[in-house]
């Protein structure tokens, strides 16, 4: 259940291959960045301008496995998810990072997986179990603490 709505919809390209990690439980989680670009004409100079926004996305569980298998740098994807701002500690100071926890994903490339991958049953799109129904908090989709973890999550109450 939710009080309120917290929904994000993105279509963009991956900035790098997804990084897949695993929880001790065996559950996967993949991290990636997605670029969306706005272009506009400057009212003063009349020149074409553009700005690219980079989004941190987290694919929990089975979605993480699929992302790791079929998405790569440059892949065009649709993702639907929710915003979550996590705090972590850096040099004794609290920092924040805002991520999109993905709940639904669609691959939009003409030839996903390089074009020759066979179309498995779970390929191409996948929806996470509805967070509202899950007995486990969607919150647990956060990256597992790992040696190469970008953030020290130890003191975050996942």
Partner DNA sequence: TTTT
**CA–CA separation, 61 and 29 (whole Å):** 5
Neighbours of 3 (CB within 10 A): 4
Is the Cβ of residue 96 or residue 148 nearer to its own copies in the bound state? 96
Binding mask 106-145 for DNA (x = CB under 7 A): ----x-x------x----x---------------------
Answer with the entry of DNA, its own copies, none that 20 interacts with (C-beta below 5 to 8 A by kind): none
Q: Is 106 exposed, middle or buried, given 0-12, 13-18 or 19+ CB atoms closer than 10 A?
A: middle
145: DSSP letter: P
Least distance in angstroms from the C-beta of 101 to DNA:
18
117 binds its own copies (CB under 8 A): no
Least distance in angstroms from the C-beta of 54 to its own copies:
7
Answer with the entry of its own copies, DNA, none that 147 interacts with (C-beta below 5 to 8 A by kind): none
**CA–CA separation, 12 and 84 (whole Å):** 19
CA distance readout (Å), 72 to 15, 69, 103, 122, 146: 8, 8, 19, 17, 22
Residues in touch with its own copies (CB under 8 A):
1-13, 35-43, 48-49, 51, 53-55, 76, 78, 80, 82-85, 95-98, 103-104, 106, 108-111, 121-122, 124-139
């Amino acid at each position: 259940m939710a009080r309120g709505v917290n929904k994000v919809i993105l279509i963009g390209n991956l900035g790098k291959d997804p990084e897949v990690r695993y929880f001790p439980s065996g559950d996967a989680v993949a991290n990636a960045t997605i670029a969306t670009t706005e272009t506009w004409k400057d009212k003063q100079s009349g020149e074409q301008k553009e700005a690219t926004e980079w989004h941190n996305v987290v694919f929990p569980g089975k979605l993480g496995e699929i992302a790791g298998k079929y998405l790569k740098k440059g892949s065009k994807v649709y993702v639907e998810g929710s915003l979550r701002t996590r705090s972590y500690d850096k040099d004794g100071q609290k920092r924040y990072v805002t991520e999109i926890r993905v709940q639904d994903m669609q691959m939009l490339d003409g030839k996903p997986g390089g074009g020759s991958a066979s179309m498995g049953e779970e390929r191409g799109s996948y929806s996470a179990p509805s967070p509202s129904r899950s007995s486990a908090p969607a919150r647990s989709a956060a990256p597992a603490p790992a040696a190469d973890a970008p953030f020290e999550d130890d003191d975050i109450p996942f």
